[in-house]
C-alpha cells in the first residue's frame, strides 16, 4: 500500500461579483432569525425568488424556523441552492459556535452532491466571518484516504467565499492545521510509525518558510539520555524519535509546544483490555494538535517563535519492552520507578518538557496530551482539563477557548497529593503512577516536576482529543463523526495570536 498523504481542505477562492450568478454547482445562503421569525431579506430573499419560493414556502408552512444548521434545498439554473439557518441573536461564544456549526452542516450536506460551491458569509470581515469559513472548511473534512470506492470520497473541491482576502487566508491556515491534526490523530498506527512520521513531517513542512525540522533518532535519544522516551518506545521494532519543528515568526525565546505522540498505546507489559485499546490509535492527538497549530501559525505568518516537540513512540509488549519495576534515568537526571507501563505518556512528555525548559531555553511550556482516562471520566468527551500554576496564563487560555469553542476546565495541582509520587517509588525519585484516585492530577503533578520553574500549561485532552462518547451526546457538526476532531490546534493558535498581540 502507498503511504498516507496528509489531506488538505478544498481549494478556496474569493467570490467576486454577484454570488447568485456564480458558475458553480451549488450556493449556500444563510438565513438569520429575529426572535422566533426567520428573516426573509437581502440575499436570502433574492435567492428565494430564484429558487421558486421554496424558502418562503417553508417559512410560511412553519417547516423552517432558521434554527442553527436547519436546511432547505432548492434549485435554479442547474444549481443547488441551499438555505441554512444561523439561529438568532446570541452572545459572542455561542454566536461563533452557531456559525461554525451551521456552515459545517451546509457544506457537509453538499460533499457528495456538488463539485463547487459559493458560500455567502455576512459580515465579510472580523472573527465572525473567519469562524463561518472555518466551520465550512471543517465541514468538508473526510478521512477517506483508504476508501477505494470513489463514490465514498469527497467530491466538493472548490469553494468561493464572499469574505475579505485576509479572513480567507487565516481561515484556510486554521483549517489546514486542523486537517493535519485530524489526519495524524486518526491515522492507522503503522502508517505513521515514528521514523515514518518524522519523514512525513519533514516533507510536509519543507514547503514552508521560516520552518525547520530536526529529528533526534533512536541512537541520539539513547546517547543524549532521553531515558523516558527510550524506555517507552524500545519494545517496538519501530523505535522512538523526537521530532522538533521550529517556526520563527518573531525573535526572543520560543514558546515550547509539547504534544504526546503515542503512535499506539497498547499499555505495554501492563496490557490494556481489548475494549479500551482500539481508541489508542488516537493517543497521538496531542502531537497532532501541536503539529496542526505550528502549521497554521506558519501559514498565517503569526508573529511568534514556536518550538514544537513531538516525542513519537509505540508502546507495545515484547521481549525488549520496559518492565514494571524498572528504574529509568530521565533526560534531566531524575530517576523514575515504573509502577505501570501504561502510564507511558508522562514519561515521554517529561523528557521533552525538561529538554524544552532547560536545553532549548523556552520561555513557556505548553503540553497537550491524551494523558489519563481519569480526565475523560471527569469531564467527558467535549471538555479538556487544564492545569497551571499561573492564573494569568489560564485566563489567556480561557479567552482563546471562548473564541474557538474548544472547552476547558481547570483542575488543581494539589500539593497534598505530591508525596504519593515519592512514596510509591522506594528505589527512585518518583513513581510514574501513584494513586488510583485523582489520576489526572497525579499525572499533571508528575509533569510539573520536569518544567524546571518555567511557566507551564498542561492540557489533558483524553476526552475531546480522541473523540470519545459521540454515541451518547452529539458532537458539534464541524467535528468528524466518530473520529478525532483535531482538538486543540485552533485553541493554541488563538492563544498564540493573543501573545503576538495581533
Ligand atoms: N492514553 C492513556 C489515557 C487515555 C485513556 C486517554 C482513555 C483517552 C482515553 C494513558 O496512556 C493511560 O493509559 N493512562 C492510564 C494511567 C494509569 C495506568 C496510571 C489511565 O488513565 O488509566
Ligand atoms: Mn497508557
Ligand atoms: Zn497513552
Q: Cα separation of 383 and 465, whole Å?
A: 9
Q: Does the CA dihedral 168-171-173-176 come out positive or negative?
A: negative
Q: Is position 170 within any domain? A: no
Ligand nearest to the CA of 266: 2
Same domain for 243 and 133: no
The verdict on 360 and 451 lying in the same domain is yes
Let me know whether 119 and 199 are in one domain. Answer: no
Q: Name the stretches of the chain with pLDDT < 50.
A: 1
Cα dihedral 26, 30, 31, 32, rounded to 10, equals 170
CA-to-CA distance for 460 and 440, rounded, in angstroms? Answer: 8
Mutate to test the pocket of ligand 1, among 232, 342, 411, 439 (most ligand atoms within 8 A of CB): 342
Among all chains, which residue has been given the C-alpha cell 426567520? Answer: 38
Residues 102 and 217 in one domain: no
Q: Is 460 helix (H, G, I), strand (E, B) or coil?
A: strand
Establish if 432 belongs to a structural domain.
yes
What is the CATH classification number for the domain harbouring 301? Answer: 3.40.630.10
The ligand 1 atom nearest the CA atom of 279: 9
Same domain, 208 and 141: no
The CB of 265 under 6 Å from ligand 1? The reply is yes
* 115 falls within a domain: yes
Between strands 335-337 and 430-431, the pairing is parallel
Q: What is the pLDDT of residue 470?
A: 65
- 33 alpha carbon to ligand 3 midpoint, in Å? 45
Q: Give burial (CB, 10 Å; 0-12/13-18/19+) of 248.
A: middle
Q: Looking at the domain assignment, is residue 5 inside a domain?
A: no
Q: Do 325 and 474 lie in a common domain?
A: yes
What's the pLDDT at 358?
98
CB 109 within 8 A of CB 82: yes
Same domain, 230 and 259: yes
Active site residues: 272, 346
Q: For the packed helices 92-110 and 126-139, what is the interaxial angle rounded to 10 degrees?
A: 30
Q: Ligand 1 centroid vs 345 CA: distance in angstroms?
A: 8
CA atoms of 213 and 484, how far apart (whole Å): 25
Which pLDDT does position 471 carry in this prediction? Answer: 72
Number of neighbours of residue 320 by Cβ within 10 angstroms: 11
Final residue before a domain boundary, out of 130, 163, 196: 163
Q: Please indicate whether residue 283, judged by its CB atom, sits closer than 6 Å to ligand 1.
A: yes
Domain boundary among 142, 163, 184: 163
The x, y and z cell numbers of residue 303, run together, are 508573529
What domain count does the chain have?
2
* Helix 489-499 with 285-300: angle, nearest 10 deg: 50
Question: What b/e sequence results for 25-52 when a residue is b if at least 16 CB atoms lie within 10 Å of its CB, and e otherwise?
Answer: bbbbbbbbbeeeebbeeebbeebbebbe
Q: Are residues 46 and 15 in the same domain?
A: yes
Residue 56 belongs to a domain with what CATH number?
Answer: 3.40.220.10
Which atom in ligand 1 lies closest to the alpha carbon of residue 272?
13
Q: Which residue range is the domain that position 317 belongs to? A: 176-499
CA of 435, nearest ligand number: 1
Exposure of 227 by Cβ count < 10 A (0-12 exposed, 13-18 middle, 19+ buried)?
A: buried
Q: Are residues 228 and 346 in the same domain?
A: yes
Give yes or no: residues 306 and 369 share one domain: yes
**373 Cβ inside 6 Å of ligand 1:** yes
**How much is the pLDDT for 1?**
46
Give backbone dihedrals phi and psi of 410, rounded to 5 degrees, phi first. Answer: -75, 135
Atom of ligand 1 nearest to the CA of 433: 19
168 within a domain of the structure (yes/no):
no
Answer with the one of 163, 192, 211 that is the final residue of a domain: 163
CA of 106 to the centre of ligand 1 (A): 36
Q: Does residue 481 form part of some domain?
A: yes
- Could you give the percent of the chain with pLDDT greater than 90? 96
Q: Is 25 helix (H, G, I), strand (E, B) or coil?
A: coil
Concatenating the DSSP letter of every residue in 321-364 gives S--TT-EEE-TTS-EEE-S-TT--HHHHHHHHHHIIIIIS--SE
Ligand 1 atom closest to residue 267's alpha carbon, by position in its atom list? 13
Asked, for residue 6, whether it belongs to a domain, the answer is no
User: Does the CB atom of residue 460 touch ligand 1 within 6 A?
Assistant: no
Do 191 and 69 share a structural domain?
no
> For a substitution probing ligand 1, which of 373, 443, 470 has the most ligand atoms within 8 Å of its CB?
373
Tally of residues, the chain? 502
What is the DSSP track for 36-61? TEE---HHHHHHHHHTTTHHHHHHHT
* Minimal-distance CA residue to ligand 1 atom 6: 462
One domain for residues 207 and 262? yes
Q: Is residue 55 part of a domain?
A: yes
Q: How far apart are the first and last CA of the chain?
A: 44
Amino acid at each position: 500500500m502507498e503511504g498516507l498523504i496528509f489531506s488538505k481542505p478544498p481549494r478556496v477562492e474569493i467570490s467576486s461579483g454577484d454570488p447568485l450568478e456564480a458558475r458553480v454547482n451549488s450556493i449556500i445562503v444563510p438565513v438569520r432569525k429575529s426572535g422566533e421569525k426567520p428573516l426573509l431579506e437581502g440575499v436570502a430573499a433574492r435567492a428565494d425568488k430564484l429558487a421558486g419560493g421554496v424558502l418562503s414556502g417553508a417559512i410560511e408552512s412553519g417547516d423552517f424556523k432558521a434554527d442553527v444548521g436547519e436546511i432547505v434545498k432548492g434549485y435554479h439554473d442547474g444549481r443547488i441552492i441551499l438555505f441554512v439557518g444561523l439561529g438568532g441573536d446570541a452572545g459572542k461564544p455561542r454566536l461563533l459556535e452557531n456559525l461554525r456549526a451551521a456552515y459545517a452542516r451546509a457544506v457537509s450536506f453538499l460533499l457528495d452532491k456538488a463539485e463547487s460551491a459559493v458560500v455567502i458569509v455576512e459580515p465579510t470581515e472580523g472573527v465572525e466571518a473567519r469562524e463561518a469559513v472555518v466551520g465550512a472548511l471543517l465541514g468538508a473534512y473526510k478521512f477517506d484516504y483508504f476508501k477505494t470506492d470513489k463514490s465514498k470520497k469527497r467530491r466538493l473541491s472548490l469553494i468561493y467565499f464572499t469574505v475579505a482576502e485576509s479572513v480567507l487566508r487565516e481561515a484556510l491556515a486554521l483549517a489546514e492545521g486542523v486537517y493535519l491534526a485530524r489526519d495524524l490523530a486518526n491515522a492507522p498506527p503503522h502508517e505513521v510509525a515514528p521514523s515514518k512520521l518524522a519523514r512525513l513531517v519533514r516533507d510536509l513542512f519543507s514547503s514552508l518558510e521560516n520552518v525547520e525540522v530536526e529529528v533526534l533518532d533512536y541512537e541520539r535519544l539513547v546517547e543524549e539520555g532521553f531515558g523516558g522516551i527510550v524506555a517507552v518506545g524500545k519494545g517496538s521494532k519501530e523505535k522512538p524519535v523526537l521530532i522538533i519543528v521550529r517556526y520563527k515568526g518573531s525573535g526572543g525565546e520560543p514558546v515550547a509546544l509539547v504534544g504526546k505522540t503515542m503512535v499506539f498505546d497498547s499499555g505495554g507489559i501492563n496490557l490494556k483490555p481489548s475494549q479500551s485499546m482500539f481508541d489508542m490509535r488516537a493517543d497521538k492527538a496531542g502531537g497532532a494538535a501541536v503539529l496542526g497549530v505550528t502549521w497554521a501559525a506558519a501559514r498565517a505568518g503569526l508573529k511568534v517563535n514556536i518550538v514544537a516537540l513531538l516525542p513519537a513512540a509505540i508502546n507495545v509488549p515484547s521481549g525488549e519492552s520496559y518492565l514494571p519495576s524498572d528504574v529509568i534515568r530521565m533526560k534531566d537526571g531524575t530517576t523514575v520507578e515504573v509502577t505501570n507501563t501504561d502510564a507511558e505518556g508522562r514519561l515521554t512528555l517529561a523528557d521533552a518538557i525538561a529538554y524544552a525548559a532547560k536545553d532549548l531555553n523556552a520561555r513557556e511550556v505548553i503540553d497537550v496530551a491524551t494523558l489519563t482516562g481519569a480526565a475523560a471520566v471527569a469531564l467527558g468527551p467535549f471538555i479538556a482539563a487544564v492545569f497551571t500554576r499561573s492564573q494569568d496564563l489560564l485566563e489567556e487560555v480561557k479567552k482563546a477557548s471562548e473564541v474557538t469553542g474548544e472547552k476547558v476546565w481547570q483542575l488543581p495541582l494539589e500539593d497534598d497529593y505530591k508525596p504519593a509520587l515519592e512514596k510509591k517509588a522506594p528505589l527512585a525519585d518518583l513513581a510514574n503512577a501513584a494513586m488510583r484516585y485523582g489520576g489526572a492530577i497525579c499525572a499533571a503533578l508528575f509533569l510539573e516536576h520536569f518544567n524546571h520553574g518555567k511557566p507551564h500549561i498542561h492540557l489533558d485532552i483524553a476526552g475531546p482529543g480522541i473523540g470519545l462518547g459521540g454515541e451518547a451526546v452529539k458532537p458539534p457538526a464541524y467535528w468528524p463523526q466518530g473520529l478525532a476532531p483535531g482538538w486543540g490546534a485552533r485553541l493554541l493558535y488563538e492563544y498564540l495570536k493573543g501573545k503576538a498581540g495581533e
